[in-house]
């Protein structure tokens, strides 16, 4: 099964899921190490300048590894997808990964935090654009995929509402959590669609 996934490109879906798992584990590990970090008063970037060295390492290396994996998924998705919406989504996801990688390089205490804030904002914009491109492709495909597009639309509305009604730190956490959830969904959809294509090809060969 895994060999089939690799041949069809579906293995990249596992890469997306792994990228998100790495980031979540890094977040949890950093939170466990830094007792001063607050869900309501701290931003994620505060882990990178924490007084606790373990929290700093967990966050920075988590960003580096998850960024590399997410960039690899995006590049793989863009190369395997034929439809323009999915291809654009893949390219944008690759750039999201690169931006996340740099979040682990340029911490808030580097150059006054300007680089960190730049790549953080860039990642947020790219996630939004990737979501729009993916949802457009899913909606055009129709059927059950429109329900998945609907989930993306709901996520976008929730993030927008939180940005207007919550403190910056709280809105950031909600936005990051939903972005992580979306990339898991995206990876699963990519994995499932390409495995189904491979199975269809195998049936044709058997006939």
Lowest mean pLDDT among 1-5, 48-52, 128-132, 184-188: 1-5
Q: Which two tokens stand for residue 68?
A: 């590399």
Q: What is the pLDDT of residues 96-154, one digit of tens each?
A: 999 999 999 999 999 899 999 999 999 999 999 999 999 999 999 999 899 999 999 99
**Alpha helices, H only, 43-167:** 53-80, 84-103, 114-141, 145-165
**Among 39, 72, 56, which residue's Cα sits nearest to residue 177?**
39
The pLDDT value given to residue 202: 52
Closest CA to 181 of 12, 23, 9, 10: 23
Residue 199: pLDDT band (50, 70, 90) is low
What is the C-alpha separation between 78 and 62, in angstroms, rounded?
A: 24
Confidence of residue 197 (pLDDT cuts 50, 70, 90): low
Q: Is 20 exposed, middle or buried (0-12, 13-18, 19+ CB in 10 A)?
A: buried
**How many other β-carbons are positioned within 10 Å of the β-carbon of residue 48?**
25
**What's the whole-model pTM score?**
0.88
**Two structure tokens written together for 196:** 């189904």
d(CA 185, CA 149): 10
Residue 175 tokens read as: 């936005």
pLDDT, mean over the chain: 91
**What is the number of other CB atoms lying within 10 angstroms of the CB of residue 19?**
28
Predicted confidence (pLDDT) per residue in 54-81, tens digit = 999 999 999 999 999 999 999 999 999 9
């Amino acid at each position: 099964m895994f060999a089939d996934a690799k041949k069809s490109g579906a293995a990249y879906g596992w890469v997306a899921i792994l990228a998100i798992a790495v980031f979540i584990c890094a977040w949890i590990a950093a939170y466990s190490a830094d007792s001063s970090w607050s869900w309501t008063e701290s931003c994620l970037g505060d882990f990178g300048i924490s007084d606790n060295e373990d929290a700093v390492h967990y966050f920075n290396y988590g960003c580096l590894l998850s960024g590399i994996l997410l960039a690899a998924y995006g590049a793989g998705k863009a190369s395997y997808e034929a439809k323009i919406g999915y291809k654009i989504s893949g390219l944008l996801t690759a750039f999201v990964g690169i931006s996340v990688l740099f979040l682990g390089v340029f911490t808030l205490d580097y150059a006054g935090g300007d680089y960190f804030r730049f790549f953080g904002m860039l990642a947020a914009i790219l996630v939004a654009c990737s979501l729009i491109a993916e949802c457009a492709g899913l909606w055009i495909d129709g059927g059950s995929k429109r329900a998945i597009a609907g989930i993306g639309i709901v996520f976008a509305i929730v993030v927008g509402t939180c940005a207007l009604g919550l403190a910056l730190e709280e809105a950031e956490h909600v936005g990051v959590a939903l972005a992580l959830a979306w990339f898991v969904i995206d990876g699963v959809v990519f994995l499932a669609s390409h495995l189904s294509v491979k199975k269809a090809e195998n049936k044709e060969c058997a006939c």
